[in-house]
Amino acid sequence: MVHEEQTLSKKHKILAFTLILLTFVMGTSEFVIVGLLTEVSTSIGISIATAGTLVSGFAIAYAIGTPIVTGFVSRFPKYPLMLVLIAIFILGNIISALSSTYVVLMGSRITTAVVSGVLTALSMSIANTVIPKEKRSTIIASIFAGFTIANVMGVPLGTMIGQWSNWHMTFWLTAFLGGVAFIISMFVLPKRLSGENGSLSDQLSLLKHPKVILAFLIPIFTIAGTYTIYTFITPILENKLGVPTKYIAIVLLIYGFFSIFSNVLAGKIAQRNGLSKLRYIFIIQAFILFSFYFTMSSIWLGILSILLMAVILYAVNATIQLYFMDLAEEYSPSAKDFASSLTPVAVNVGIALGAAIGGFVINSGSLEYLAWAAATLALIASAFTFMSYRRHSNDPH
């Protein structure tokens, strides 16, 4: 790690920090609502279930809107485009802070979701273009880590502010952090990166290639495997492991710290022949997830399974992100920004799929059987990775 840091110029390091700050701010804005559902539902007079749609609505808007809007706006020069999008992000959070009805809050969340998705895609594309090739995997994994750090630090801080004051103050915080990111970005983002010369149909045509479709399925199923269990982590901790309610937040905080190591692992995996390694990483993930079937009866073994699950969580990100970029370079160079959006979109689809499958399993059986479903999804991810690797090896060009 020390050697890598020495070979990056100061300019590259400042750019990387700025992009990590941006993903941290966006991640905090996305995830913090989870800790404030009770306050939001009471304040604007809706049920907890309806408040929950503010989470799922964000994920759906992110997944559907991001690739379409990215494909449309990628023709514009990156510097002014990034600043305009960050400004819209800030405005979206201000509207969230001022909202007093469900409709206005949902509208601001949908706007923020799509803008966040496009900003993430452009951040990855800028890093891919500007950062030296041999360091791309480390920096892209670090940019993804901004979302992880948001879960570990930004969400607890925002939740605390919302509970001490009111939930509106939390969105004023994310708007303020967006303002900080905007000011730094004005001075740091490269000013001469042109847009991609391609129509929306040119961008979307990338999806007709089997290699791209296969690669898109990989993060969906590995993330779904984790979220089949993680979505229901609180009842597992309380009802199966016997963790007292007052210690749940501490366990989740430790989980968050361990998931940061997952981003470091992702960078290492992506450095050389990442697809080859991921084939077996997902088999290891399946064993870890399946271990819950046996460890749910022991508090310490159960927590160990949870922490190992966190270490594997984001292992896929950097490899798949770089693979999408390389495929775009091969098939449609004008679709590189669009390709950059596919990993975060797939992750959001995976989260939604895992939560849905987990809910179905619980309604049909008991918490232990989540382990079977989760492990199966991880093995499906491994199978798709074997298929992708074989196709890539047989047709490297």
Please compute the mean of the pLDDT values over residues 125-150 and round it to a whole number.
86
> Comparing 193-197, 282-286, 308-312, which segment has the lowest mean pLDDT?
193-197
Query: What was the pLDDT predicted at 181?
Result: 94
Query: What was the pLDDT predicted at 2?
Result: 37
Check whether 315 has a pLDDT greater than 80: yes
Query: What was the pLDDT predicted at 4?
Result: 42
CA distance 172 to 95: 9
Please compute the mean of the pLDDT values over residues 123-141 and round it to a whole number.
86
Q: What is the DSSP string of 352-368?
A: HHHHHHHHHHHHHS-GG
pLDDT 10s digits, 11-22: 889 999 999 999
CA distance 196 to 360: 42
Check whether 214 has a pLDDT greater than 80: yes
Distances (CA, A) of 204 to 146, 193, 201, 246, 280: 27, 22, 5, 48, 31
CA distance 332 to 345: 19
CA distance 236 to 245: 11
Query: What was the pLDDT predicted at 144?
Result: 86
Check whether 237 has a pLDDT greater than 70: yes
CA distance 146 to 4: 19
Check whether 396 has a pLDDT greater than 70: no
CA distance 202 to 211: 17
Band of residue 321 on the pLDDT scale cut at 50, 70, 90: confident
Name the pTM for this structure: 0.81
Q: 10 Å Cβ neighbour count for 195?
A: 15
Check whether 379 has a pLDDT greater than 70: yes
pLDDT 10s digits, 269-283: 988 788 899 999 999
Query: What was the pLDDT predicted at 287?
Result: 97
Fold match between domain 1-195 and domain 198-397: yes
Give me the residue spans of the domains in the chain.
1-195, 198-397
Distances (CA, A) of 68 to 200, 334, 339, 396: 8, 14, 11, 28
Of residues 316 and 232, the one with the higher pLDDT is: 316
Q: 10 Å Cβ neighbour count for 273?
A: 13
Q: 10 Å Cβ neighbour count for 17?
A: 14
202 three-class SS? helix
CA distance 373 to 229: 9
Does the domain at 1-195 match CATH 1.10.3720.10? Answer given as: no
- % residues pLDDT > 70 (the chain): 95
Band of residue 3 on the pLDDT scale cut at 50, 70, 90: very low
Amino acid at 393: S
Residues in contact with 346: Cβ distance below 8 Å, sequence separation at least 6, in sequence order: 216, 217, 218, 219, 220, 223, 320
Q: Determine phi and psi for 161, rounding to 5 degrees.
A: -60, -45
Check whether 8 has a pLDDT greater than 80: no
Check whether 380 has a pLDDT greater than 90: yes
Chain mean pLDDT for the chain:
87
CA distance 303 to 326: 38
Check whether 9 has a pLDDT greater than 50: yes
CA distance 361 to 352: 14
Per CATH, the number for 198-397 is 1.20.1250.20
Band of residue 302 on the pLDDT scale cut at 50, 70, 90: very high
> Comparing 150-154, 173-177, 211-215, which segment has the lowest mean pLDDT?
150-154
Of residues 272 and 312, the one with the higher pLDDT is: 312
Check whether 197 has a pLDDT greater than 70: no
Dihedral of CA atoms 50, 55, 57, 58 in degrees, nearest 10, equals 150
Query: What was the pLDDT predicted at 56?
Result: 76
Band of residue 46 on the pLDDT scale cut at 50, 70, 90: confident
291-299: Cβ within 8 A, 24+ apart = 291/371, 292/229, 292/236, 292/368, 292/370, 292/371, 292/374, 293/368, 293/369, 293/371, 293/372, 296/236, 296/240, 296/241, 296/367, 296/368, 296/371, 297/240, 298/241, 299/241, 299/242, 299/243
Band of residue 202 on the pLDDT scale cut at 50, 70, 90: low
Nearest CA-CA partner of 169 in 157, 182, 179: 157
* 225 in Cβ contact with 375 (< 8 Å): yes
pLDDT 10s digits, 28-41: 998 888 778 778 88
Residues in contact with 135: Cβ distance below 8 Å, sequence separation at least 6, in sequence order: 4, 7, 8, 12
Give the CA count within 13 Å in the CB-facing half-sphere of 244: 2
Of residues 53 and 303, the one with the higher pLDDT is: 303
Nearest CA-CA partner of 235 in 358, 343, 131, 142: 358
CA distance 323 to 281: 17
pLDDT 10s digits, 331-378: 877 777 788 888 888 988 888 888 888 888 888 878 888 999 999 999
